[in-house]
Structure 1
């Protein structure tokens, strides 16, 4: 909605000038988000034909909360009227559970790809793109991709300048198309074991303060040795090796895309000793962090 309001708003008053929206629900009760913030509906379920788009915002997949039958009926009525339905983040799951994604491509975050594939094995799912516009179904991976999806809609209805203007105010330099790739996880192969998947997420979420392998094993209810065997089977390396590699790759990304000092990057990636970090970096990439940054800057000047 920020992108929509900034597309034409003057004076930073957050007015609905060119783009208008409503937060609709089957009752007037506040809707509690997974972060704890409550969103108040501004409208009842009015005729879906009154909208150019209906956007479905998803929640926690494992919360157990069921969507209201009246909302499912509303979405199906909108589909019958050919009103484009947009699934944002796990909103794609809601559209699929309502049987509204058959024959359409669904875009989800790489984080939710396996869950979508397992729940809907007959649907075509994509976690490479930021969003997919497939006729009357538009699905988005969520996060920053939402503003670029909004910008593409603004460009279609209001113009390219308005779309770019909205993104610039949001401190985004230029719009990304639906074919722009999502940032991908370090492991590209499909992980079949749920405990290995959980362990990988724990490692990714604790890059700055790495967990011990014993603690990771404990959190996924496995012994240290069993976790080691599962990692070797699934990704061909130990949990410790995986942790080092993912932190070194994160360090490389920070090195090439920020101006932070090498010592800061080392600490940010869980290395307390800069010398140790530099040795591991050279072993992985064949050059020191300073050498890699210097080469990258020289290439930009050419």
Structure 2
């Protein structure tokens, strides 16, 4: 049995303990109680969440008496306002040497950084606090645009729902890809996001104000393998090309051409991370003229070529 200990502190975000559903479902899918979960705090007793909900906890075990295989540290709403207690930091330093892995969900990564567990390692956190983490902990290699990162026995995730992706990746590591896929299906998770995937969605970033422009973006995403000229997009939402370009730019802050390239990049990156298709096929399926055109777009958008993204995914696996 693999024991998972959740370390909470006052003001923790409840989304952290929502990840327990992933492990619970993994037990159901695998047909055996592979995971056992317990919730801890330094002193034990009730701990109050950021929403005011109280959760009962066990006191952290004494040195040498912990049977926990994976420690998961919950984040708080503002990690800059209140740091972790010295007792919590001391405990994590001891526990990290005995546990199989230690994870920080969202801003829980700040606690791992304060404990020195991220020194010299790659890590991520909620994008809103990534720059602060890098400034406060210069020995950490912060990557602010990742869903989650695994560096040896240390796991860190971005904010909120990214913790579910991290937990699902643990299930895949422990029980295999088929169990992880079944868990994602039972939890109605739209897709299993790999750690290398961006925290940001191009569709969310554009955030159009009208249904017409939203419909144009939906049309573009469904037809990325086609040319997608301004005339086509305008016709799809019953506007003249000139009026469409003006409204689109006013609502999204981008030209239609630039927005479509962003959607192509997002789709191509997802295919690279989650499939074994050759890059030529991915370029064609996502509407780039050819592999070279896709590479140029990747360099503009991500600063790295498609091959580097694929290598990173394979290394993480």
Shorter-chain-normalised TM-score: which range? 0.5 to 0.7
Distance 1:16 1:86, change over 3 A: farther
1:133 CA drift (Å): 0.6
Distance 1:255 1:182, change over 3 A: farther
1:96 CA drift (Å): 0.8
Distance 1:83 1:70, change over 3 A: farther
> What SS does the corresponding residue of 2:131 show, helix, strand or coil?
helix
Distance 1:143 1:277, change over 3 A: farther
Distance 1:169 1:282, change over 3 A: same
The partner residue of 2:255 within 285, 294, 301 is 285
Write the deviation string for residues 235-277 of structure 1: whole angstroms up to 9, x where unpaired: xxxxxxxxxx95449976675349xxxxxxxxxxxxxxx9998
CA distance in 2, matches of 1:144, 1:257: 23
Write the deviation string for residues 181-221 of structure 1: whole angstroms up to 9, x where unpaired: 211699xxxxxxxxxxxxxxxxx9xxxxxxxxxxxxxxxxx
Distance 1:17 1:62, change over 3 A: closer
Residue aligning to 1:162: 179
Query: Does 2:137 align with 1:115?
Result: no
Query: Does 2:141 align with 1:124?
Result: yes
> What SS does the corresponding residue of 1:23 show, helix, strand or coil?
strand
Query: Does 2:44 align with 1:25?
Result: no
CA distance in 2, matches of 1:286, 1:60: 36
TM-score (norm 2): 0.58
Distance 1:282 1:85, change over 3 A: closer
Contact kept? 1:8, 1:162, Cα under 8 Å: no
Query: Does 2:25 align with 1:9?
Result: no
Count of matched residue positions in the alignment of Structure 1 and Structure 2: 217
1:61 CA drift (Å): 2.6
1:278 CA drift (Å): 7.4
Query: Does 2:70 align with 1:56?
Result: no
1:30 CA drift (Å): 1.6
CA distance in 2, matches of 1:76, 1:91: 14
CA distance in 2, matches of 1:131, 1:34: 23
Query: Does 2:180 align with 1:180?
Result: no
CA distance in 1, matches of 2:191, 2:139: 36
Write the deviation string for residues 95-119 of structure 1: whole angstroms up to 9, x where unpaired: 1112221121111122211211221
Contact kept? 2:120, 2:139, Cα under 8 Å: no
Residue aligning to 1:228: none
Distance 1:122 1:63, change over 3 A: closer
CA distance in 1, matches of 2:200, 2:26: 26
CA distance in 1, matches of 2:189, 2:149: 20
In angstroms, what is the RMSD of aligned CA positions?
A: 3.8
Residue aligning to 2:98: 81
Query: Does 2:59 align with 1:44?
Result: yes
CA distance in 2, matches of 1:159, 1:30: 35
Distance 1:48 1:153, change over 3 A: farther
Q: Relative contact order (C-alpha < 8 Å, sep 6+): which is higher? A: 2
CA distance in 1, matches of 2:106, 2:32: 24
CA distance in 2, matches of 1:114, 1:120: 10
Residue aligning to 2:277: none
TM-score (norm 1): 0.60
> What SS does the corresponding residue of 1:8 show, helix, strand or coil?
helix
CA distance in 2, matches of 1:184, 1:156: 26
1:33 CA drift (Å): 1.6
Query: Does 2:256 align with 1:256?
Result: no
